[in-house]
Chains A and B, each alone.
Chain A
Amino acid sequence: MDHQTTETFDQNAREALTDEQLRAALRNLVTTFGERRKVAITTVDDWEGLRERARAIKDETLTHLDKYLEEFADNAERAGARVHWARDAREACAIVLKLLRERACEHIVKSKSMATEEIHLNAALEAEGLAPVETDLGEWIIQLAHETPSHIVVPAIHKSKKQIAELFAEKVGIEPTDDVAVLTSTARRVLRQCFAEADAGISGVNFGVAETGTFLILENEGNARLTTSMPKIHIAVMGIEKIIPRLVDLDVFLKLLPRSGTGQRLTSYQSLITGVKKSVDDEGPEEVHIVLMDNGRSRMLSHPVTRQSLACIRCGACLNACPVYQQIGGHAYGSVYPGPIGAVITPQLAGIKKAAQLPYASSLCGACREVCPVKIDIPELLLHLRAEIAEGTTVGTADQKGPVKRKLSEQMAFRLYAFLWSHPSLYNLGTRVARLMQRTVMRNGHIGRVSGFVSKLAPPLGAWTASRDMRAVAPRSFREKWRDGLSGRR
């Protein structure tokens, strides 16, 4: 399935807005996770202090990422893990495929991982005849439905339990039910068989600890624990930005991540895995492989504004808080990572050409910045990316970037505006002319879809009024009022 469909963002968003079931699911998400988060962050003494500390740790790591990555890789290898380096998605998929092929692995279980979604690992493995099974309940649901995640924490949030029951009835032959407990135990029963047979497990990574070479997975269900302990071979795919320096730094992130994401004090399970088991009698896989993946990340290091993107711990709080995400859900973004964080990292990962609309899919209200546990200034990033789009510079690799075409009429309009703005007498004349002309399209001081009356402006202003109203030019300008004395006669 091709994710890079951001060309159609406007169309997707419009369709999503008419999907009543989706909107109900999103309302549920916002109230449930939003409220739980609000309560959860009051259970630590100094939330602000924690956020700042987390950001400082991330900044320290990212500005010395080469050093910490080497430390992580060397320590993981000392403990018996094999570390593989992948510059891009193609290399990462090829490494995983080669490992599975060489060991003749046939039955593969996966636990939820956005990094493997990002590189479309399942599709790459399926193309070679392998059939990895997603074992996180939400991921399994969307895998059965041949869909993609619509949220980075709760991937099947867009599906109702009725749809899920119908899906299970069709795919695994249960009686339709609206009992969530029955649906859940169905997943347990069916997937246990997969775990019993599995010869390889694939997971993502939440944090990699440089001083010990440990990688950490957070979860609630237990499928990541099963994935990392039942099969003979484990492969963990991680972005290079997941590193933190020390084991004790986990304290800060374990306080922030669950509270921000699901409003929990802590998720049910954390697995800290350091290399491979010490003796054959120990439990766990015989081989542990770590795939360290760049895939567009390192170039985000080249500017402090874009570098922030790499501090993200994928908690999902900015999605839940975003008024745009709340209305349209994750699929409308057409990218693996939706919501505010998706709008900033997709153009950087996939190239601006493929995602030029995403940095505009935001009202810059700042709600994402407010909730972000690592204090990423997403509005600042959005503006930075918009500027790069406007200038046709620097985002993405050479073949991905290049000027994003803006409409000639839009460019002309801005030039005209700039010219008028810098010539006061012409500007004043312009407002007077506009006041006369707008009479034909104005209702109640607005231009647009007002009280059943749809007025259209000529391009490029028409694009503005296609989705929102425009304030008409005031009867008297501020300058005119000022000249006549502000409190003076009307």
Chain B
Amino acid sequence: MVELEDNKEVRRAMLSAIREHLAASMPFDAVHDEHHAEHKANPRISSAVADEQSASPTERFRNALEAVAGHCLMVNDERAAADLVLEILGKINARRIAVSDSLLVKRVMSHVKLDAEILVDASKSELFDCDAGITSAQWGAAETGTLVLEADAERHRLASLVPPVHIALIEADKIRQTLGEVLESLSEQGRDRLSRTVTFITGPSRTSDIELTLAIGVHGPGELFVIIIEGRDK
């Protein structure tokens, strides 16, 4: 086995190599910049890209999600959401269901009367045996039909990933127009409050690795149902 040098020493060496190389480039930079003025044209770097849209976020979300083979359903309240969940679970004949610990999921599931095993803290091996996973989502991005799930808000990582069907519940007012807006909200939380894992989900799992032929559901869920709760009667 190779003897490793002290990590701090290597860090110092790598950073000083970077500084040396950057310093060596300075005389060339001045000449080069004159020839590549266009790269300097935009000195203010980055911000969310502006986006004006007339469509409502929920409509836009649905269109984008359906374009990537996800199912999008809209309901007025949590009871109606529960009815849909029941219907989906019935259709796939779910015997074992993994749910996240989110409050929204808890409330909706309290209305779901089903003769099936519902696991809040499924173990890894149990998860491989589940027919569906149910989570909520903390944000949505309408432009791409993307769900954003934060680990601090719910334990979502495996329930949204391992079972073949993922059902996600989201309140309509959590859907922003763009991913840029969601990123801004995440960034406003500050580095210490940011969840240790944030997952963006856009449609079901897919691959084109064999002759570029699309196949759905390779490692993650083959079906994604997003239920948007409009809450108009709240």
Contacts of A101 in B (CB 8 A): 1
Is the C-beta of B22 less than 8 angstroms from some C-beta in chain A? Answer: yes
Nearest B residue to A97 via CB reads B1
Q: Are A141 and B209 within 8 A (Cβ)?
A: yes
Contacts of A265 in B (CB 8 A): 64, 68, 143-144, 202
- A137 with B10, Cβ < 8 A, contacts A69-B18, A94-B2 known: no
Is the C-beta of A87 less than 8 angstroms from some C-beta in chain B? Answer: yes
Is the C-beta of B116 less than 8 angstroms from some C-beta in chain A? Answer: no
- A187 with B21, Cβ < 8 A, contacts A52-B42, A85-B7, A375-B39 known: no
**How many residues from A make CB contacts under 8 Å with B?**
118
Contacts of A359 in B (CB 8 A): none
In the complex, A60→B126 CA distance in Å?
Answer: 48
- A66 with B18, Cβ < 8 A, contacts A57-B46, A94-B1, A188-B217 known: yes
Output the least CB separation between B102 and chain A (Å).
Answer: 13
Nearest B residue to A281 via CB reads B155
In the complex, A187→B46 CA distance in Å?
Answer: 40
Q: Are A268 and B43 within 8 A (Cβ)?
A: no
Q: Are A230 and B124 within 8 A (Cβ)?
A: yes
Q: Are B194 and A212 within 8 A (Cβ)?
A: yes
Within 8 A of B (CB), among A247-272: 247-252, 254-255, 262, 264-272
Contacts of A160 in B (CB 8 A): 211
| Total inter-chain residue pairs, C-beta < 8 Å | 285
Contacts of A245 in B (CB 8 A): 45-46
Nearest A residue to B191 via CB reads A212
Within 8 A of A (CB), among B7-24: 7, 10-11, 13-15, 17-22, 24
Contacts of A59 in B (CB 8 A): 39
In the complex, A94→B157 CA distance in Å?
Answer: 30
Is the C-beta of A203 less than 8 angstroms from some C-beta in chain B? Answer: no
Contacts of B211 in A (CB 8 A): 25, 28, 160-161, 180
0 or 1 for each of A331-375: is its CB under 8 Å from B? (1 = yes):
000000000000000000000000000000000000000000001
Q: Are B125 and A91 within 8 A (Cβ)?
A: no
Nearest B residue to A277 via CB reads B196
In the complex, A73→B144 CA distance in Å?
Answer: 31
**How many residues from B make CB contacts under 8 Å with A?**
84
0 or 1 for each of A158-173: is its CB under 8 Å from B? (1 = yes):
0111001000000000
In the complex, A188→B20 CA distance in Å?
Answer: 48
Within 8 A of B (CB), among A132-167: 135-138, 141, 154-157, 159-161, 164
Is the C-beta of A107 less than 8 angstroms from some C-beta in chain B? Answer: no
- A154 with B64, Cβ < 8 A, contacts A250-B183, A299-B21 known: no
Is the C-beta of A86 less than 8 angstroms from some C-beta in chain B? Answer: yes
Is the C-beta of A56 less than 8 angstroms from some C-beta in chain B? Answer: yes
Output the least CB separation between B188 and chain A (Å).
Answer: 9
Contacts of A212 in B (CB 8 A): 187, 191, 194
Q: Which B residues are closer than 8 A to A by beta carbons?
A: 1-2, 4-5, 7, 10-11, 13-15, 17-22, 24-25, 28-29, 32-33, 36, 38-39, 41-43, 45-49, 51, 64, 68, 124-125, 128, 143-144, 146, 151-152, 155-158, 161-162, 178-180, 183-184, 186-187, 191, 194-213, 215, 217-221
